[in-house]
Amino acid sequence: MSFSPLIRHLIDALRSLPGVGQKTAQRMALQLLERDRSGGLRLAQALNEAMQGVGHCRQCRGLSEDEVCQLCLDERRDDSLLCIVQGPMDVFAVEHTGYRGRYFVLKGNLSPLDGLGPEAIGIPELLTRISAGRFSEVILATNPTVEGEATAHYIAQILAGKGLMTTRLAHGMPLGGELELVDGGTLAHALAGRRPINL
């Protein structure tokens, strides 16, 4: 079936969303056009407002409608802890753990093949943030991928000798997981990070 130019344009725009392929984009477009035009208009308005009104916090670089986000303005947070994450979604994930320190959001991982060096992901801004703060511990919460590990290692190296405790998120067995279902890499990290049982 051949779609008109406007419908093709809508389908292509919907495909920019993560996890949305051609067929899913087609179903979404036709659903909005056939059954929910008011929902489509609300979606268009919300997208336009968000694209125009949401920027980045000048302190943590997370998503914010204001110059400084609500997390950075919260005086009840622990100013001695700084958690470094790869992206804004990671802030939301860490927040669900009950963490109450501060954040710094990188713009991805170091990836020379993709042209992402220290400047591209915000390492100079990170160093400025650390020197301006009163942090005693920096938590490296990058993903446990090759790039995430390399980024964490690079940051740990440049922070060495600055009088900060630098920690890394633990890797290992998921809570409630079964040993036989865990992949070899995760199991190797769990064995390497084993600790004594305190009775």
Q: What is the pLDDT of residues 125-165, one digit of tens each?
A: 999 999 998 999 999 999 888 899 999 999 999 999 888 99
Fold that domain 7-53 belongs to in CATH: Helicase, Ruva Protein; domain 3 (1.10.8)
DSSP 3-state assignment of 131?
Answer: helix
Beta strand 63-64 pairing with 55-56: antiparallel
In angstroms and rounded to an integer, the radius of gyration of the C-alpha atoms of the chain is 21
**DSSP 8-state class, residue 115:** T
Cα–Cα nearest to 59, from 112, 10, 129: 129
* 56-168: CATH topology: Dna Topoisomerase Vi A Subunit; Chain: A, domain 2 (3.40.1360)
58-72 pLDDT per residue, tens = 999 999 999 999 999
How much is the pTM? Answer: 0.83
* Residue ranges of domains in the chain: 7-53, 56-168
